[in-house]
Every structure is written in C-alpha cells, then in structure tokens.
Amino acid sequence: MIKPITGMKNAFSLEGQTAIITGGNRGLGFGIAQAMAESGANIAILCRDRKKAEEALNELKPLGGKYESFDCDVTDRVSVRKAVAEVYASFGHVDILVNNAGVSCVKELLDMDEELTDWYNVLNTDLNGTVHMTYEVGKRMKAAGKGGSIINISSNAAFIVNKTQAMSPYSSSKAAVNHFTHCMAVELGKYDIRVNAICPGFTNSELSRHIPKDMFSYINNQMPLGRFGEPIEVGALAVFFASPAAAQITGTCQVIDGGYMLSC
C-alpha cells in the first residue's frame, strides 16, 4: 500500500523519481517538466519535435538532474511502445506519467471535410494517445510492484461548451479523458497506481495561440482572477499530484482556470 505521510518534510519532493512527460518540450508540458525537475525528478520528454526538445533539455540542465528526450508519436502504438522501452532502458524505472500531448481544433462539425479529418486527429491524439501511454507505462508499473502516479492533462472544456469558439472534438476528447481517469483510478488502484487529471482553463501556451487578440480582454474579464494561467502553475499542481502529499488522492479531475467556469 502507498504509505501516508507522517509530516510535511519532503511531502512535496519528487527526489529520485522519474517522470515521463508527453509533449514536454513546450507550453504546458514544459511548465510541468520544469516544475517536476525543480522538485527533484528526472525527466523523460516524449515528443515529435527534436529541435524543441533539445531547447527544453538545455533549459533544464542547470537544475542538475537527468533529462533526456525520445521520439514518440502518441497516436502510433508502435512508436509509443518503442519510446517507453527506451525510457526504461535509460532510466531503469518510471514513477510518474504525465499524459500531456494534445492538439485542438476550432471548427464546427458540419464545416469539416467528409472524412472528419479534424475530428479524428484531435481524438486520436488527446484521447487515444492518453490510452496508449497509460497502457504501456501502466503495465510496467504494475509489474514493478512499486505503484506510481499517472496524471492526465485534460481541460475545463470537458465540463462546458465554449460559446465563442466551436471546439466539439477537443471538448469531447477531454470529457472522455476525465472519465478514463475515473475508470483507471478504479482499475489501477489495487496496484498502488494513482490516476488523476488536471483541467486547465485558458493558459499562456501553444494551444492558446489560436485565440484572436480581441478576445483576450473579454476572456480575462470573465475570470474572477482576471488573467490567463501560466504553464508553471499547472506544473505546480502536477507536482502535488505526483508527490507523497497526494498519496490518498486518486480519481480526481481538478480544474485550474482562475475561476472561469464560475462565469459560464
């Protein structure tokens, strides 16, 4: 069983742990990588853009841990299997999995092509990619018998309909990720593997670049806290979920959106 903490010393430390972060080379993913590295974790970044990965690794290096990147397309099970095997070969063990890789699409369903290319692209990345990674890492965590923490990066879009932008593929995929989180928390709990989701709202990241500039002030005015979030703030919540302090928390989908949902 996962041992409860007996005091606050080291309650939020990730010292000696290894974290896989998909899409950890930029945006939210890098914010999570930075926060976990600063908390003592070794970091394996899985992504498709090696140039951005190297830039991310160079920023992490001064923190003094072990940081590497691996080629991975989360929509491709062969690619996922290969990348996960390479991580284990290099680091020896994985304690934390952050399913962060994701894409979005702003388009109404009836404006999509006959093949629904945009729809399937989002679901294959955001939902199926999460499933692929959870399967490959989860079975290795089970075999190791030491438990683990899986953190799925969802969105507050899982709970609400964006009235200003048509995002049905993204919202649908994130709602599915949330329920997948619940299901995995039940299925994997007996192996001491905790599964939680983080549901950011508007954050200064890659996925927010599609938002027209004239909408930024409108969105900020809808937030009780009056600003977009920062990737490192999402990273701080991820550190909490991965840390001993959250040893009794599983199956949670935590919103972090500056109170935006309160105005919807």
Catalytic residue ranges? 170
- End-to-end Cα, the chain, rounded Å: 40
User: Helix-strand-coil percent breakdown of the chain, rounded to 5?
Assistant: 50, 15, 35
Q: How far apart are the C-alpha atoms of 49 and 206, rounded to whole Å?
A: 14
Angle at 251 between CA 245 and CA 254, to 5 degrees: 75
**DSSP secondary structure of 35-60:** HHHHTT-EEEEEES-HHHHHHHHHHH
Q: Identify each DSSP E strand in 167-213 by its residue range.
A: 193-200
233 CB contacts (<8 Å, ≥6 apart)? 31, 203, 256
**Residue 245: Cβ-neighbour burial (10 angstroms; 0-12, 13-18, 19+):** middle
HSE on the CB side for 248, CA within 13 Å?
A: 5
Q: Can you tell me the distance from the alpha carbon of 195 to that of 193, in angstroms, rounded to the nearest whole number?
A: 7
Burial zone of 162 (CB within 10 Å; 0-12 exposed, 13-18 middle, 19+ buried): middle
What token pair was written down for 159? 């709970």
Residues 217, 207, 105, 134, CA torsion sign: negative
